[in-house]
Amino acid sequence: MSHQLFLLLVNATLDTLYMVAVAGAIGTALGLPLGVWLATSGRGELLAAPLFNRIGGVLVNATRSTPFIILVVAIIPFTRLVAGTSIGTSAAIVPLTVAAVPFIARIVETAIREVDRGLVEAAEAMGATPYQIIAKVLVPEALPGILLGLTLAIVSLIGYSAMVGAVGGGGLGDLGIRYGYQRFMPEVMAIVVLLLIVLVQGIQSLGEQLARRVNKRLRTA
């Protein structure tokens, strides 16, 4: 393998990690509270606001049902507004984040809705405020599910990040297409696929391990 090709691979890997990490972090920072809110603002729930809950749900669904590559193109004006440009690795983070937020929100919502109603009731009987119930009961009890969901979201982001080559986003997927396919260098394609597999595997097992550590529901035999 030439020195030049090696550098290309390293840079592409770093680009992918950079995009996924930043989009994942911002996506979590926004998606987590959004998901908690979606799970607690329905009719008769802790922070009941049924109308807004419905509107939020529709927006989340709209974003989630738009194919990612169309989303990338559709929000170019917004991307330019946020990143100053619509081209390049940093710019690619914008659509990745926009896709990540509703995805993570739904995952968090689902995990929180699985928490036993009886626990909320017990906390209410103790005189807990709605915010205390969220912080001390709902989120800690849903944490194993949330961590597994976040793992899934990050793995999906790695997949999405391969598509942002369309707007000059760079990264492993982009390298694979440009060199492996367009310049017909099958060995580059093979290495790219291998690297992606390793990356996804690593993230998946890390996530599962974390989830297992915080899950006290199983007997530690």
CA proximity to 161, closest of 207, 59, 153: 153
User: Is 201 an interacting residue with respect to another protein (CB under 8 A)?
Assistant: no
Pick the closer one to another protein by CB: 132 or 201: 132
User: Is 48 an interacting residue with respect to another protein (CB under 8 A)?
Assistant: no
User: Is 122 an interacting residue with respect to another protein (CB under 8 A)?
Assistant: yes
Cα dist from 86 to 40, 81, 177, whole Å: 36, 9, 20
Pick the closer one to another protein by CB: 132 or 205: 132
User: Is 81 an interacting residue with respect to another protein (CB under 8 A)?
Assistant: no
What angle do the packed helices 139-161 and 3-40 form, to 10 degrees? Answer: 140
CA distance 215 to 206: 14
Q: What is the DSSP string of 78-140?
A: HHHHHHS-SSSHHHHHHHHHHHHHHHHHHHHHHHHHTS-HHHHHHHHHTT--HHHIIIIIIHH
Pick the closer one to another protein by CB: 21 or 119: 119
User: Is 187 an interacting residue with respect to another protein (CB under 8 A)?
Assistant: no
User: Is 14 an interacting residue with respect to another protein (CB under 8 A)?
Assistant: no
Quick one: which of 19, 111, 137, 211 contacts another protein (CB under 8 A)? Answer: 137
- The residue assigned the tokens 């993570």 is 104
User: Is 125 an interacting residue with respect to another protein (CB under 8 A)?
Assistant: yes
User: Is 214 an interacting residue with respect to another protein (CB under 8 A)?
Assistant: yes
Q: Given CA atoms 68, 107, 146, 42 in this order, what sign does their dihedral have?
A: positive
CA proximity to 78, closest of 105, 60, 96: 96
Task: Tally the residues of the chain.
Answer: 221
Quick one: which of 126, 190, 197, 198 contacts another protein (CB under 8 A)? Answer: 126
Query: Footprint of another protein on residues 88-117 (CB under 8 A)?
Result: 116
With CB under 8 A as the contact rule, which of the stretches 2-10, 54-62, 70-78, 212-220 interacts with another protein?
A: 212-220
What does the binding site for another protein look like in residue numbers (CB under 8 A)?
116, 118-119, 121-129, 132, 136-137, 140-141, 143, 214, 216-220
